[in-house]
């Protein structure tokens, strides 16, 4: 009996079946996802805002887009850390998804500062899906007030928080953002209405996960596979939506 050959087959068998077995254990826990909650409806669109788009025929609006919406105020360069985190941790990751955009609302008069900020964070990269839109202070307040937020705008019309708005102008987030530990301790439920761009962990973990879920939802809607119940998430990394 060729024990060396038998040993070789046993090792090959283990190498083949071990990862398969591991995936089978993971599958029941990971093949479903819960659609991202609608926490607010009727977010105001930005038709009356001007934009920094090089395409004069392109109107920057929220409807029919999956938008990360932010507010960087009169002095956007003072909020460069929030903008850089948003660019590196969100824009660079999701810019390949159809209809994805980042829109930053700024008051009129901050166009030059916005251009400087864009140059600062671009590193000569493609920022076609990153837009600055300019409006009067009251128009910015109106859009912000149509969102659900735990904190008001700062006096300079800025906030470190960004908001997720879907194609139907509905704000997305989490109706219950408790951790497993908080649920075990019977803590009261609380919502996640926005994502703090200064908190890197929150952007990398919560926001990235939530955006992937939202893109999957729209991909399934396009294919006629989505319903409001828990659905299979076959490939959250597929960026064809």
Confidence tier at 236 by pLDDT (50, 70, 90): very low
Top-confidence residue, 18 or 166: 166
Residue range 163-204, pLDDT digits in tens: 999 999 999 999 999 999 999 999 999 999 999 999 999 999
CA distances from 82 to 2, 66, 88, 138, 197 (A): 65, 20, 10, 23, 5
pTM comes to 0.79
pLDDT in tens, 34-60: 789 999 999 999 998 998 875 555 689
pLDDT, tens digit, 9 for 90 and up, residues 98-126? 899 999 999 999 999 999 999 999 876 78
Long-range contacts of 91-97 (CB under 8 A, 24+ apart): 91/127, 91/129, 91/130, 92/125, 93/208, 94/211, 94/215, 94/239, 95/126, 95/128, 95/129, 96/239, 97/66, 97/215, 97/239, 97/241
**pLDDT for position 39:** 96
- Give how far the C-alpha of residue 9 lies from the chain's centroid of Cα atoms, to the nearest Å: 47
């Amino acid at each position: 009996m060729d024990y060396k050959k038998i040993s070789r087959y046993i090792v090959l068998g283990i190498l083949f079946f071990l990862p398969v077995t591991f995936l089978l254990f993971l599958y029941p826990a990971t093949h479903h996802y819960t659609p991202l909650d609608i926490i607010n409806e009727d977010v105001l669109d930005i038709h009356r805002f001007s934009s920094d788009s090089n395409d004069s025929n392109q109107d920057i609006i929220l409807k029919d887009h999956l938008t990360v919406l932010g507010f960087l105020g009169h002095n956007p360069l003072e909020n460069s850390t929030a903008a850089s985190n948003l660019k590196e941790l969100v824009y660079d990751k999701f810019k390949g998804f159809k209809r994805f955009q980042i829109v930053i609302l700024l008051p009129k008069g901050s166009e030059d500062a916005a251009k400087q900020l864009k140059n600062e964070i671009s590193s000569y990269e493609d920022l076609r899906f990153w837009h600055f839109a300019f409006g009067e202070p009251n128009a910015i307040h109106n859009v912000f007030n149509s969102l659900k937020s735990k904190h008001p705008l700062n006096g300079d019309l800025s906030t470190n928080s960004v908001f997720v708005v879907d194609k139907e102008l509905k704000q997305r987030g989490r109706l219950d953002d408790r951790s497993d530990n908080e649920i075990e301790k019977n803590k009261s439920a609380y919502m996640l209405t926005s994502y703090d761009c200064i908190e890197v962990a929150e952007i990398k973990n919560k926001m990235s996960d939530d955006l992937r879920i939202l893109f999957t939802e729209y991909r399934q809607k396009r294919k006629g596979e989505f319903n409001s119940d828990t659905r299979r998430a076959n490939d959250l990394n597929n960026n064809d939506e």
